Structures are given as C-alpha cells and as structure tokens.
Structure 1
C-alpha cells in the first residue's frame, strides 16, 4: 500500500506458500569476470591469505594497473567461504560522498525506510552478517569511505572490507597491497602475453608478429616502454588494427623518452599511463576525439540514444554518433557491455574518462554538454512519470534502476545550475524514491531542491508531495501530515483536482498508519473523492481508493473494503499496471481473512507477492509473508505459518521497522503467530521460525 523496494536478485516464488527470499537473496552481486585475465598469481595468493586473516585490505596503484580486476578475481575465490556472500559496490559513478551509505545499503539489500540515520541502520543490519564487501574505486571519496568502513567493521565482527583506490584509506588496521604493473622482461612475460591477447583480438594478422623472434623482441620492448601497465597494453594492442608493430614502436618511442629521468617509479607509471592515453588520443580521428571528450560527462554506463542526444552537435551530427562510438570501442577507449533487458550499453574507464574531461574543458564545452546530459535525463524522468501507472511499469522500473548513476549526476548538476529544472526532475521521480527503494536519497534530493525554489506552482507542489511520500514511508508521520496539509492548500490554489487527491492520500495515510481509519476515510473516501473530482484512472484517485480500502479493513467493514479493492484491482488491470494492483490484492486478502475465507485470502496474497517480485519490493514481500502466515495458520498449517513468519522477519530487517510500527499490521502478524503456536506448540514453532529465518541466507 505504501511503496515498493528494489531487491538484488530477489526470487520470491509465489507458486506456493513457502515464500523464502531464495537463493540469490544474500549470495552477492559480483559483476561478470571479463575475459583475458592474465598472470597475477602472486597477488592473488597473497590476497587469498589476507582475506582469511585481515578485515580491511586496500589495493592501491596507478590508474589502469588492474586493481579492480584483481579484486574481482580475489572476491570470486573468497565468496564461497562467506555465509552471506560477496557484495560489490562500484563507486566510480558516485560524486556526492553523502550518498555513499545509501549506495552501499541499497547494494547489499537494505532498503531502509526508517527516519533513523542510515549509517546506524546499516551498522545494525550488518552486525550479524558474515560477508565480504568490496568498495571499488574509492580515491575520490577517501574520507567518507574511511569513516563508513570503520563504522561497519566496528559493528560487524563477521565483515571483511576489500577496497580499491589510488591511495590508501589511512584506517587503523588497514592492510595496504600495492598492485604493480605486470612483469615485462623476456619473451614469456605476462605483459607480453596480455599485449598479444589484445593485438590478436584487434586483428588476426597480428599473429605473424609473435611467430617471428625478432618481432617478438620488438613487442617485448614496447611492453617495457609501456611499463607493463595493463590498460596501456590494452590500448596499444587495439592499435594493431591500424598500425604495424614497428610503426607503433617508432611512434611511441619518442613520446616515452621524456620519462627516462623521472624521480620515482610511481610517478613514472602515472606519466606512462597519461602519455599512453594521450598517444591513443592522437591516433583517433578528429570526430572520435570530440566524442571522447563529450562522453566524459557520463558517469557509469550509457546507451546509444543518450550518447546521440548529449554528444551530437557542430561537426558531429547525430546520424554519425553511433559509427564514431563504434570506432572508440574498436580502439578500447570505450567498452561495450550488455545489460540484461537493457540492450547494448557503453562505458569508459575512469582514467580514460578523466583524460576526456580535461579535453572537454580545453574545448570550452563542459557546461553546455553537462546541460545537455542533465536535461536528457530530466526528460527521461518526466517520461517515466507519465508511463509509470501503465503497461510499461516494470520496464520503467528496470530502466530507471539501470540509469540510476546518470539520474544522480543530472540532478546534482541541475541543483547547482537550474533550480527549476531540478525541482521538476526530483518531483517527477516520486515513484523512484517512493516505489523503488531510494527513500533516503530521495528525501535528501527533494529537500535540497525545495530549499532553493519559490513555494508556488505545480512543480513545487509535486516535489513537496514527493517529499511527503518519503516522510510517510520512513514513518515520519508528523512531517507527512504537515506536508500533506501544505500540498492540499497549494493544490486548492492551483484548482487542480489531481493534486488535491494526491494531497488527500498523503494526509489520509499519515493518520491511518498511527490508527485513525475514521479520519482517513473522511479525507480519502468516496465522498471526499467526489468532492475533488479528477480522473478516476489518475494516480491521486487510485491512491485514495487504496487508502479507503485499507481504512475499511481497519474498521472491519470487510465487504465494503472488498468492493473498493476489487474496483481498484480492475482499473489497474485495465491500465496494465502492477504496483497498485498488488496492493489491491493485499487488501482483498486482508478482507477475505476478516470474513473467514482463509483459502481465498491465501490466493489473493500469493497474487500480491507475484506482483511484488516483478518490482523487487522488499517491503511488499515482508508485508505479504505476514499475511500469508496468518492465512495458512487459520487453515491449520502451523509449521508453514511459523516458517513464513521467520522468513518475513528476515525481510522486515531489510526495510527497517517491522510492520512499520502500525498497530493493524502488528496485530495481523501477531494473530498468525498465536494461531501457529496453538497448532504446533511453542517448541515446534521456534524451530520452524528459525528455519524460515535461516532460509533467507540462501
């Protein structure tokens, strides 16, 4: 009824009553291991030992040296020994250190919606976990990572943290491992093997170079000039598509002679990497260089449509962007990835992106390209808002989750450059904050956007309503009521029935949750809705019907509740919508349970859980498990009810306060427990409950 939460790999099965979080719930989220990993036996052997005996390990080294790949290999090997899996948090797209905790929490599956500080909730949630947390690419927020890692390690004895960063965190007890370049001496060196792999991937004719001993020596010297840095070797290998080995050696030799008298090995490697990227930049076509610079505004990955919209202009028409992008992929400047259900996506490694951003500043285009990027994603947010309550809802959920890093970047830019656009975008993303598990982030963004805006107009009213929703889901009913009243006043001045209904929903639920269903009915019931008017298929009307149906259940007017929920479900089915429809199924189940139709209640709640799985709703799954437990307990299966309550307990832990502190939700959960204990006895109940809770760990 109150929102959705995203869940990594959630596989809650609605085919029978035993809905555990399932394998994958806590197994981790390691990215696929890229092909072509070569060498590093010494480093991996050392990490294997350290991960067994140390709790904070930081891999340091120059950009492009392979820290992330080594961490991924080590984490994959270590994962089997971790009861709660391995969780990979990629921090390179993150620019605001204030969002670090929210990013980590969401990655590990904590969709907390309590008003308590999120770092406290994350520490409490991690306290009994046995897992490996990988914080990848931390150099741009060392202080924030040091603080969070310290808090988590102090709170969670079973936690190990593996960090990749160009510099150490400087934490007590930190074990620092410097990742050095690949050995590049001799014809059998790892550096030469890696260069050979990328050269052969670029062109089959490169094979002849490595069959000739003299040309192999030339290749080995090239690897030495590149200092054995993996990214430099990869970029050089990609050039074999265009240049011969001898041409490459000649062209790069002159550029690297200047590095021979550097003062330290580390400084030399930084210069080597910078020079190699500059060399690759010079070998690009003019339009490829321009696209490289403009693509640097993207954080994380992006698709072709975004690249075309953001980067076209001047000498680079939109019709040529995809072809030029393919050229950068061929040169290993841009990497192509495949996102499940999202098609082809692209990204640049941080070191390459930083070089491109420097060139963007040289071109004087930083502001204009950042504006294009922000307004493209603002338009995407508005389109998602329009399409949310429709047949594309699940697709929008997946799309916006995929674009999360870009949405953050766009909002951060707009808050500083275009407050009106920031307000519109933050308000349009109400469903992302309220329904997709980003409530802490949403509240922070909305508060910032509202601070700098004039308190009038539709955009302000929408953003204020979205803020009220985040307060509501956090259980901050005082703020939710106050915001609801302000929204109602603003909507009346705008003479906008839809906004009046949205405000009515916010006010109704803010009094319903603490236990005043009569007041909720007066705010959102049929008479109140008729007084406002508005479209009966718009969000405000549908949300008010949901609040009405639940208030009627609280008043034990189950037949009327069934009528309201059934009408809501029918409308949602006609729209092709799943979010509200699942909540209508939930109310139908509550009403059926109240009428003594226990089998019917179980059927409705299974349908509800099926919808929750599609939208990754942790809160909804926890809510549904409590209700299903009550239904099966009433049917006489006390053991299954106890297991469901145990599993539900594990899910509630991932969303904050159990039963949201609601008297009606708590009473429903307690009813299931009493009936289960009465059916099988206390000892059997405790055993089954523990078994259900344990199943959540896979």
Structure 2
C-alpha cells in the first residue's frame, strides 16, 4: 500500500469516540481540520485516524510534517517531496502538484499548520479543486478557513472516573517510567490521588505524559501535593480552573522547574533545532559555559527520561531526538531570556554549513550512500541554517548552497535548491570561488528542470568566472554544464568539443575530481548521440572503473546507463539490459527519481528489442509514472524521446495495441515510492 505514515512512537490510549467521528468524516468530507491547544494530542489522533483510513485509499495515505518548516514559500515543495515528487520541471510547482494529483484517490495529512495558515489555505484550495479523489486532514491550533472545511475540536481526555482515558494514559506513562508505580495505581486510595492529578492537569495528554515521567522520583501523594501548590499559586482566584492553554504552559513550567539547572540550559538551547537532530549536533551547538561538550549526551538523556525530549530513531540506527512544538516553544522563550537566540542560531547555521562542506567532500566516495541518508535526515536543519545565513552571513550562505549541489541535483530537491542558490547569489558579492560554485549549482538545477536556455547562459557565466580562478576543477565543472546544456537540445558535436578528451586535457586537474568525471559522462553520451558506440563504451567503461575505485555509486550508475545505450546501439540487447539493471539498482539506492525514470525507458527499449513486448509495455508504463513524479518527460531531449518512442513502437508491433495498452496501464499503476 503506497504512503508514508510514520510509526506510532508510544501506545495509543482512548479517543474511541473521536476515531469513530473521523472515520465517518473522512469518508464524506474532503477537508477536515483537527484543532485544539498545544499538547492535546491532535497529531496522535490524526495519525491513528489516517492509519485506519489507509485501506480505503487506492493511492495511499501521505503524511506531511510541517512543524519544522518556517518559509511558506517552501510549503508546496515540502508536500511534493513527501508525496515522492522530485519536481525537476521549470513549470510552477503548484501546477505540477495539481496535475500529478488530479487522478489520485488519496488522503493527505498536513500536520501542524498553525504557523502556515494562509499558505495552507491557498494550496489546499488548489489541490481540492484539481483532484476530486483527494481528502485532506489537517492538524492546527486554529482552523485554516478554507471553503468546505469541517472543524473538529480535539478535547482533553476525560477524567471522570477510575476507567477514564486520562487516568489510563497517566498510568501507562508512569509504568513506562518505573514499573514500581503499578502498586500505587492498584491501591484504591492511590488511584483516587492519580485521578486528582489528571483533573489538575485538565486531562491534557502532554501534561499527563510529563507528570508520568516524574513517577520514577515521587509517590503519587508527593506529586499531587507539589502539583497542587504549583497550580494554586498561579490560578486566578476568580476562576474555577485555569484555561487549558494556561494549564499546559503551567504543567510545562512545572516540569522545567523540576529539571536540574544544566538540563534547563540544554532545554533552552535545543529549541534552536527544527525537526529532529543527533547527539553530535546537540554537542556542537549547545555546549558552552556550565554545559561542557562532554556532558551534553548525559544531560540529553536526562531530558529524555523526563519526556522533555523524545527519541525518534533508536540508538542502534544512529539515535535522533526531537522536542514537541509546545515544549520547544517554552524553550525558545527561555533562550530569549538568556539572551542567546542569535548566538545559538549562528552556531546552528555554521554547524550545518560545515556539515554541508564535509558532505560535498565525501560525496564522490565510499560514504556516498551514508551521506545521502545523513543529509536527507538533516533536510529540515539545512533549510533552517540556510534561511539564517542568507540574512546574517551571505558569503557563508552561498558557500553552503553551492556545496549542497549534489543534494539539489542528485537527491531530488531541484526546485528548492534553485530557490536557495538564487537567493544566495543575489545576496553575496559576485566574485570568487564561492560565487563560481554557486553559479554551477544554479546551472545544474536549471539543467535537470529542462530549462536548458538558463543552463546554457549560466554555464557561460560560470566558465568566465572559473577562468579567473586559475583552478582547473571549476573550469571542468563549467565545461560539463555547458556541454550538457547543448547536448540535450541535440548538439553532440559542440558538447564533445566542450567536454571531450582534448578539452579535458586542456583544463588539467584531477582525473578523479567531480568536474573531470562529469565531463567523461557528457563525452560518452555525446558519442552515443553521434552513433560512435564503440568509443562511447570505452569512455563510459573508463568512467565506471574510476567510480568503482572511488567507491562511488551515483555517477557509476550513469556510466552503466551510457554503456547500456551504446550496447543497444550496437545491437547487443541482452548486454544493454544487464547494464541498465545495474544502473537502476544504483539509482534506487540513492533515491534518484530522474535516473530511475531514464533507466526504465531504456530497459523497456532493450527488452522490446529482444521481443518481450508485454514486459516492455509494463516498463514504459512504470517509467511514465516515474516521469510524472519528476516533471518534464525525457527532459524534452530529442534523443531521449526517440529512444523511448522506439521502445513503444517495437512493443506494439510485438503484442498489438490492445495488449500494449493493458500492460502499460498495469505498469503505470505500480507504486513509485
């Protein structure tokens, strides 16, 4: 079943009435918004309701977490990426998303929208108008205000007796903190005290979880007494009870007071992170003063034990942590009180800038797959860092955006990358190595989008800037950019002159550097376009060997692709199929949707040439589905289009039009996630 629902991180308690209501609403309403105070459990309820709805959605249930997003301009890109759309087209992204979703039957969940209400209202309106099979479920502290929106207010858990949901949740979290709490809850007097704690906390799930975590230190009686004192001091004597949002803030403040001073400091400093983070980042960004780097992990473990911080991925897989929004907001207030907001934002941004530089250095090497996974996990933090640097340190912003060329170009973030690079280029001085690298990154994004005129123009500017640096690597990178910008529209002769062996030798440089290797790729493909298949196989074979020596996978897969094209041109159809299957294996490993779409077209051509028209048709259908997630099919390239069309012609000739259409539709319905 397609979709991307995150796993539930804790047991789910109660909410039977709300789940029943949502079950009906999600089958009859197209837009449902769950509202309520922070910490009341909107996201948990939405996740469970979405999981229950999954069997009824042909095209799956898709979860988009918006909590880490701060720039409304990136909302559409965030939704598209969660759905698996790489968007490598120059068309406006909202148009691409609407077109892709038009025939889908799916449930889209937008989680935590209160800081993006206007942008969400606009996007949801467009999507619902374009896609009659779409249902949208939103969580937000306030309604979105769209036409047809059905608002469901999520109330706290009931605290009306010994079988109440609030007491069940409190008990579950207390037992998770210390199994010794079981005896206290089993005792009737203890259960009555626990129920009073639940009532004091208004049945708000997050407050109950924080209280449950304290049970490893206190008895129920101690908790009730101390909690009562805390609330009595802050309650308005004219009110019967605190408003729920104030109850939540008071409960968090109570937990804050019960932390050690060094835990409070880390709590405040961790609020600089959007989304999840790892220990290394916490240590680098949050240490200092009374919190030395060597103590950060231990203090962090203390905050996990108190339910202030949650583990989102277990230690065996490389632990990652995050704060719930309500707790993070409290930490941000304290960070402002400490006067450390700018300091921590600078540290955060420069840590991720340094990580981006390290990732670029390691990209063409044996750690490539690990870097792909690492930078994908850090996506939200990279955004936050770039946003801060563009406003505070434009030179560092440009260096970072340029260093992330591989993330934009190779990992499916072309639209977002182009936006960041353009902003960084406009804010920084138009000279030096960072500017040249930024131009190159911009040209790469335009290239993959099929905006070949911009790619050519930027490539020419990049070549001029590189020539002034007396460094062969930027010159080789510019040569590759220009070569592909003229190759795709159909000028392989010019591409060969720009990137071929003679041109590479004229620039010099490392034969294992990205510029040299990419020029070899452009050369090999240009030779294929010229029908010089033996030479193309020699060039691509040398490129593949060089990549294998480096332990690199992404570029090696493209070498396999060219080897397949050349083998097909020579009539070696089985060899072509073997090469392209190797190519697809590498592309799937790195999530390169553009490469997968290319490879499926080529594999279809190879198997069609071997006489298997049905498999070719299915592959072309699957390729069509992948191209829809990428953008412009075949990049508008005449040679790529001709290759795909020849595969279709041979498949139709082998099995007939009706069988072809049936097999094609079967392939097109295959999931692309």
User: Normalization by structure 1: what TM-score?
Assistant: 0.95
By how many angstroms is 1:216 displaced?
Answer: 1.6
Match of 1:9 in 2: none
Query: Aligned equivalents of 1:449 and 1:43: distance in 2?
Result: 47
Query: Aligned equivalents of 1:45 and 1:407: distance in 2?
Result: 39
By how many angstroms is 1:259 displaced?
Answer: 3.1
SS at 1:695 equivalent: coil
Query: Aligned equivalents of 2:536 and 2:99: distance in 1?
Result: 38
By how many angstroms is 1:34 displaced?
Answer: 2.7
CA contact (8 A) 2:626 2:672 kept: no
Match of 1:454 in 2: 429
The 5-angstrom pairing of residues 561-580 of structure 1 reads 561-580=536-555
- Taking only aligned residues, the RMSD between alpha carbons, in angstroms, comes to 1.4
Query: Aligned equivalents of 2:456 and 2:414: distance in 1?
Result: 17
Query: Aligned equivalents of 1:476 and 1:638: distance in 2?
Result: 33
CA contact (8 A) 1:259 1:268 kept: no
Match of 1:14 in 2: none
Match of 1:359 in 2: 334
Query: Aligned equivalents of 1:186 and 1:458: distance in 2?
Result: 69
By how many angstroms is 1:202 displaced?
Answer: 1.3
CA contact (8 A) 1:83 1:697 kept: no
Match of 1:422 in 2: 397
The 5-angstrom pairing of residues 458-473 of structure 1 reads 458-473=433-448
CA contact (8 A) 1:259 1:272 kept: no
Match of 1:88 in 2: 63
Moved more, 196-205 or 138-147: 196-205
By how many angstroms is 1:670 displaced?
Answer: 0.7
1:49 to 11, 14, 24: 24
The 5-angstrom pairing of residues 352-431 of structure 1 reads 352-431=327-406
Match of 1:312 in 2: 287
Tell me if 1:240 matches 2:215. yes
By how many angstroms is 1:218 displaced?
Answer: 1.4
Match of 1:660 in 2: 635
SS at 2:468 equivalent: helix
Query: Aligned equivalents of 1:375 and 1:74: distance in 2?
Result: 40
SS at 1:397 equivalent: helix
Query: Aligned equivalents of 1:260 and 1:226: distance in 2?
Result: 15
By how many angstroms is 1:215 displaced?
Answer: 2.2
Tell me if 1:495 matches 2:470. yes
Tell me if 1:515 matches 2:515. no
Moved more, 613-622 or 442-451: 613-622
Query: Aligned equivalents of 2:648 and 2:119: distance in 1?
Result: 43
Query: Aligned equivalents of 1:207 and 1:168: distance in 2?
Result: 40
1:689 to 640, 652, 664: 664
Tell me if 1:615 matches 2:566. no
Superposed CA deviations along residues 428-483 of structure 1, whole A, max 9, x for unmatched, are 00000000000010010011111111111101111111011001111111111111
CA contact (8 A) 2:84 2:672 kept: no
Superposed CA deviations along residues 124-170 of structure 1, whole A, max 9, x for unmatched, are 00000000000000001111011111100000000000000000001
1:626 to 598, 601, 604: 601
Match of 2:556 in 1: 581
1:115 to 90, 93, 101: 90
SS at 1:183 equivalent: coil
2:161 to 147, 163, 186: 186
Which 5+ residue runs of structure 1 have no aligned equivalent? 1-23
Query: Aligned equivalents of 1:695 and 1:498: distance in 2?
Result: 41
By how many angstroms is 1:263 displaced?
Answer: 7.0
SS at 1:336 equivalent: strand
Superposed CA deviations along residues 8-46 of structure 1, whole A, max 9, x for unmatched, are xxxxxxxxxxxxxxxx6xx10001123321110110000
By how many angstroms is 1:641 displaced?
Answer: 1.1
2:518 to 543, 548, 552: 543
By how many angstroms is 1:264 displaced?
Answer: 10
Would you say how many aligned residue pairs link Structure 1 and Structure 2?
672
Query: Aligned equivalents of 2:633 and 2:267: distance in 1?
Result: 49
Match of 1:259 in 2: 235
Query: Aligned equivalents of 1:528 and 1:697: distance in 2?
Result: 39
CA contact (8 A) 1:87 1:108 kept: yes
Query: Aligned equivalents of 2:122 and 2:181: distance in 1?
Result: 49
Query: Aligned equivalents of 1:607 and 1:585: distance in 2?
Result: 7
By how many angstroms is 1:250 displaced?
Answer: 1.4
Match of 1:5 in 2: none
Tell me if 1:58 matches 2:23. no
By how many angstroms is 1:338 displaced?
Answer: 1.3
Query: Aligned equivalents of 1:667 and 1:410: distance in 2?
Result: 43
By how many angstroms is 1:262 displaced?
Answer: 7.2
CA contact (8 A) 1:181 1:227 kept: yes
By how many angstroms is 1:67 displaced?
Answer: 0.3
Superposed CA deviations along residues 285-343 of structure 1, whole A, max 9, x for unmatched, are 00000000000000111111111111110000111111111110010000112169841
CA contact (8 A) 1:259 1:271 kept: no
SS at 1:509 equivalent: helix
Superposed CA deviations along residues 411-443 of structure 1, whole A, max 9, x for unmatched, are 111111111111111100000000000001001
Query: Aligned equivalents of 1:694 and 1:476: distance in 2?
Result: 29
SS at 1:375 equivalent: helix
By how many angstroms is 1:697 displaced?
Answer: 7.3
Query: Aligned equivalents of 1:623 and 1:391: distance in 2?
Result: 24
Match of 1:130 in 2: 105
Query: Aligned equivalents of 2:659 and 2:146: distance in 1?
Result: 47
Q: 1:199 to 1:262 in 2, by over 3 A?
A: farther
Between the two structures, name the one with larger relative contact order (CA 8 Å, sep ≥ 6).
Answer: 1
Q: 1:417 to 1:468 in 2, by over 3 A?
A: same
Query: Aligned equivalents of 2:672 and 2:281: distance in 1?
Result: 38
2:53 to 75, 78, 92: 78
Q: 1:71 to 1:459 in 2, by over 3 A?
A: same
CA contact (8 A) 1:342 1:399 kept: no
1:555 to 530, 535, 538: 530
2:625 to 634, 650, 659: 650
By how many angstroms is 1:260 displaced?
Answer: 5.3
Query: Aligned equivalents of 1:217 and 1:123: distance in 2?
Result: 54
